[in-house]
Every structure is written in structure tokens, then in C-alpha cells.
């Protein structure tokens, strides 16, 4: 269903956006049901996906990542170690569900575009499923990320300039072939996988939600997926409210932060600022309107972080045993810039440090 004009479409291998050009959501996903949980990977929550393929998942045991304190002096701040996934980022949550759907819909070739981690996740799960995969990446994608894509057997197509150019090249490739567009941004099934982040946090905290969840935001797939998961828990009567969602952006590329400060409903595209957190450097997020809505509805806010703050947060995490990439450290920088007082805070650490090189 299109949230802009309510047009509805059947699930189809070729359908990835509304005829109006906007991104689609899924209609009425089944409610979270406590008596239907089984197993320990994210497929524990498969009853809540309601998608073809959920009965024959493409899986590598993803999910169920640790939730730990970072600093013993700040026991109220908990990190969820989503970099401990099969392809080393949280994107495996969405990729496992999306690639399972693609396989069930009869796809044989996938196309993705990404600055690295989403592509790696799609390429990894495509390899697992025996599907072909082409990934369009912006020039300047870290060499380690490209090497990982190639190791999974994906065809890597570098595109000059920005992520938006890589996305446009991917769309052109999808339109001119029979490929499935395995886009983490456009495909709503990806968010079904991501919502398990919220379910796991809730279970790990002894069946309660934290007060605040800090989330890195580029395209907002983790933020929107988490919002979706917490909303599902609320509908099931298991939590009183969705926790405050605090979106963290690099100040060097901050369309959501600017829209937040201007009290705008939709972000305006920003110029190409470069940031060490290349995983959240998205100038014009497709689901920007939804991101701002989710943050506002939760009573949350948007925080910008400087390059120095990101680099120093990365060093501090590493000094405490957690080696993550700069993009992943940005969210910890956001917590340190403006630490919540007397609140239980959860933040994800989304990508492994070895990715960035």
C-alpha cells in the first residue's frame, strides 16, 4: 500500500514502488504473538512476517545479537551488537527476509545498490540462495566492502559520484532486465526483517522497552524497522508506548536534522558533504517523510554529530573492546553529545570495524 495515495498492489516480483513514484509499505502485518515464538534466530518471529518464503527461509542463523553495557560507569547505556551478523552488519536482518521472499517469488537475478553493507548482505544471502547478484556502488566505497561483495560472487558495478547515481543506475538495470530489485530502501519486506531488532531488545530487557533508542539514520531502514517493531509490541499490548526514537546523523550530511530543525514534513536534499560515516551519507532519503513522522510520533528528536565526535567515539568503543566502523560509532557519538539522564538507552552498533579499509 502507498502511504501517500492508498493505492494497493499485489506482491509481485517486478513491483517495487507505487505508480506515483513513492515507496510502498505492507498492509496489515500480523500482530506479534507471544505464543508463536520458536527458535533463537530472527526467524523466531516469522509468524509476524506473513510473506511467501517465510516457511523456507534463506538463513545463516542471523539475529539474537548480544545486548551489553559499553561503560561500567554508565550502566544505563546498552549496545546491541548487530555487527556480529553473518555479513557483519545489521542489514542481514532485512536481507534474510527479502532474499527469502525473492526466492519464493521466483527471482533468479537480484540487483542492489548500496554504499557497502546492504549490498554485502544482499550478495551474501543471494550466494546462500544460489541467486545471481549485481550491486551498484558509488565510487569511493571502501575497498574492504567491495572485496566482500566480490567474494560473495556479486558483479560489482562502480558508479561515478553519489549514492543517488548508483541507485539510478540500479533502477535502469532493473527496468531493462528481469531482475528483482533487492533494495533495502524501497522493498517493504526488508523492514519486516529489521523490526526483529525491537522484538529482541524487548525480550532481552526482560519483556520491556527501553526509554530511548538512538539510531543511525541514512536511509532510515533501521529506524523505520525498529519503529515498526515497537509499534507491533504496543498493538499487542506488551508495551505502553513506543520508546523515544533519537535519529543520529553526521552533521556533514544531515537532511533529516535540517528538516527537524526547520519543522518541515519532508527533508530537502542536501549537497554532497563527505563524512567518515559513509554508511549514513544519504543526501535525499527516499523515506524521509516517514522517518520524520516516526521520530515525532515517538517523542524523539534528531541529533547531529561532528566528524571529530564520530572518530573519537570509534576510538572509545575500540578501547572498550568493540571494534566498529565509523558509521556504527556515529550513534554512540550521538549519545555522548547529549547523554540522556536517568533513562534506559539502547543503541545498535551496526557494522564491523574491518569493513572500513
Ligand X SMILES: *Cc1c(COP(=O)(O)O)cnc(C)c1O
Q: Is 321 exposed, middle or buried (0-12, 13-18, 19+ CB in 10 A)?
A: exposed
Under the binding rule (CB under 6 A), the answer on residue 219 touching ligand X is: yes
Q: Is 56 exposed, middle or buried (0-12, 13-18, 19+ CB in 10 A)?
A: exposed
**Partner that binds at residue 326, options Zn ion, ligand X, none, CB closer than 5 to 8 Å by kind:** none
Which of 53, 119, 210, 218 binds ligand X (CB under 6 A)? It is: 218
Nearest to 30 by CA among 5, 9, 16, 51: 51
**Partner that binds at residue 87, options Zn ion, ligand X, none, CB closer than 5 to 8 Å by kind:** none
Site for ligand X in 2-61 (CB under 6 A): none
CA distance 337 to 267: 23
Which of 102, 123, 328, 347 binds ligand X (CB under 6 A)? It is: 328
Under the binding rule (CB under 5 A), the answer on residue 10 touching Zn ion is: no
**Partner that binds at residue 117, options ligand X, Zn ion, none, CB closer than 5 to 8 Å by kind:** ligand X
* 3-class secondary-structure state, position 277: coil
Q: How many residues does the chain have?
A: 357
Given the rule CB under 5 A, which of 16-24, 95-103, 127-135, 207-215 is the region that contacts Zn ion? 16-24
Cβ distance to ligand X smaller for residue 224 or 345: 224
Cβ distance to ligand X smaller for residue 122 or 174: 122
CB of 231 to ligand X, least distance (A): 18
Under the binding rule (CB under 6 A), the answer on residue 119 touching ligand X is: no
Which of 22, 138, 188, 216 binds Zn ion (CB under 5 A)? It is: 22
Q: Which residue has the cell 558509521?
A: 327
Q: Are 217 and 247 in contact (CB under 8 A)?
A: yes
DSSP bridge pairs for 246? 214, 301
Neighbours of 262 (CB within 10 A): 10
Q: Are 115 and 138 in contact (CB under 8 A)?
A: yes
Under the binding rule (CB under 6 A), the answer on residue 275 touching ligand X is: no
Q: Is 237 exposed, middle or buried (0-12, 13-18, 19+ CB in 10 A)?
A: exposed
Under the binding rule (CB under 6 A), the answer on residue 222 touching ligand X is: yes
* 3-class secondary-structure state, position 339: coil
Which of 59, 221, 254, 275 binds ligand X (CB under 6 A)? It is: 221
| Strand-strand pairing, 180-181 and 77-80 | unpaired
Cβ distance to ligand X smaller for residue 104 or 148: 148
Which of 232, 350, 353, 356 binds ligand X (CB under 6 A)? It is: 350
Given the rule CB under 6 A, which of 97-105, 296-304, 325-333, 334-342 is the region that contacts ligand X? 325-333
Cβ distance to ligand X smaller for residue 255 or 279: 279
Under the binding rule (CB under 5 A), the answer on residue 188 touching Zn ion is: no
The C-alpha cell of 248 is what?
A: 543520529
The C-alpha cell of 88 is what?
A: 557483519
CA distance 110 to 184: 12
Strand order in the sheet with 67-69: 67-69, 77-80, 345-348, 212-216, 244-250, 301-305
Give the max Cα distance, the chain.
56
Cβ distance to Zn ion smaller for residue 193 or 288: 288
Given the rule CB under 6 A, which of 5-13, 61-69, 235-243, 324-332 is the region that contacts ligand X? 324-332
Site for ligand X in 132-191 (CB under 6 A): none
Which of 87, 117, 141, 249 binds ligand X (CB under 6 A)? It is: 117
Cβ distance to Zn ion smaller for residue 22 or 138: 22
Residues that bind ligand X (CB under 6 A): 89, 91, 117-118, 216-222, 279-280, 282, 325, 327-328, 350-351
Residues that bind Zn ion (CB under 5 A): 2, 4-5, 18, 20, 22
Amino acid at each position: 500500500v502507498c502511504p501517500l495515495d492508498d493505492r494497493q498492489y499485489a506482491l509481485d516480483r517486478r513491483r517495487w514502488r507505487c505508480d506515483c513514484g513513492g515507496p510502498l509499505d505492507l498492509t496489515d502485518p500480523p500482530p506479534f504473538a507471544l505464543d508463536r515464538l520458536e527458535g533463537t534466530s530472527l526467524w523466531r518471529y516469522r509468524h509476524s512476517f506473513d510473506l511467501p518464503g517465510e516457511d523456507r527461509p534463506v538463513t545463516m542463523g542471523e539475529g539474537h545479537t548480544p545486548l551489553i553495557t559499553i561503560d561500567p560507569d554508565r550502566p544505563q547505556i546498552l549496545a546491541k551488537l548487530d555487527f556480529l551478523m553473518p555479513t557483519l552488519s545489521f542489514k542481514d536482518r532485512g536481507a534474510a527476509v527479502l532474499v527469502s521472499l525473492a526466492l519464493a517469488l521466483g527471482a533468479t537475478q537480484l540487483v542492489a545498490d548500496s554504499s557497502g553493507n546492504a549490498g554485502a548482505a544482499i550478495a551474501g544471502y543471494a550466494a546462500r540462495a544460489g541467486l545471481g547478484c549485481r550491486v551498484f556502488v558509488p565510487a569511493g566505497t571502501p575497498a574492504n566492502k567491495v572485496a566482500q561483495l566480490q567474494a560473495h560472487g556479486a558483479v560489482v558495478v562502480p558508479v561515478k559520484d553519489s549514492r543517488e547515481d548508483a541507485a539510478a543506475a540500479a533502477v535502469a538495470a532493473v527496468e531493462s532486465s528481469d531482475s528483482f530489485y533487492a533494495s533495502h530502501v524501497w522493498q517493504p519486506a526488508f523492514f519486516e526483517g529489521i523490526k526483529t531488532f525491537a522484538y529482541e531488545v524487548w525480550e532481552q530487557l526482560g519483556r520491556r522497552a527501553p526509554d530511548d533508542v538512538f539510531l543511525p539514520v541514512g536511509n532510515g531502514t533501521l529506524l523505520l524497522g525498529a519503529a515498526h517493531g515497537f509499534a507491533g509490541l504496543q498493538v499487542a499490548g506488551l508495551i505502553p508506548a513506543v520508546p523515544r526514537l533519537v535519529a543520529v546523523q553526521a552533521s556533514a550530511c544531515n537532511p533529516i536534522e535540517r528538516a527537524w530543525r526547520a519543522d518541515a514534513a519532508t527533508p530537502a536534499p542536501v549537497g554532497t558533504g563527505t563524512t567518515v560515516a559513509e554508511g549514513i551519507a544519504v543526501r535525499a532519503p527516499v523515506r524521509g517523510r516517514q522517518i520524520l513522522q516516526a521520530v515525532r510520533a515517538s517523542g524523539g528528536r534528531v541529533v547531529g554529530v561532528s566528524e571529530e565526535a564520530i572518530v573519537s567515539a570509534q576510538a572509545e568503543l575500540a578501547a572498550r573492546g568493540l571494534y566498529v566502523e565509523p558509521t556504527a560509532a556515529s550513534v554512540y557519538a550521538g549519545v555522548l553529545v547529549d547523554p540522556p539522564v536517568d533513562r534506559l538507552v539502547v543503541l545498535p552498533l551496526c557494522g564491523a570495524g574491518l569493513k572500513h579499509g
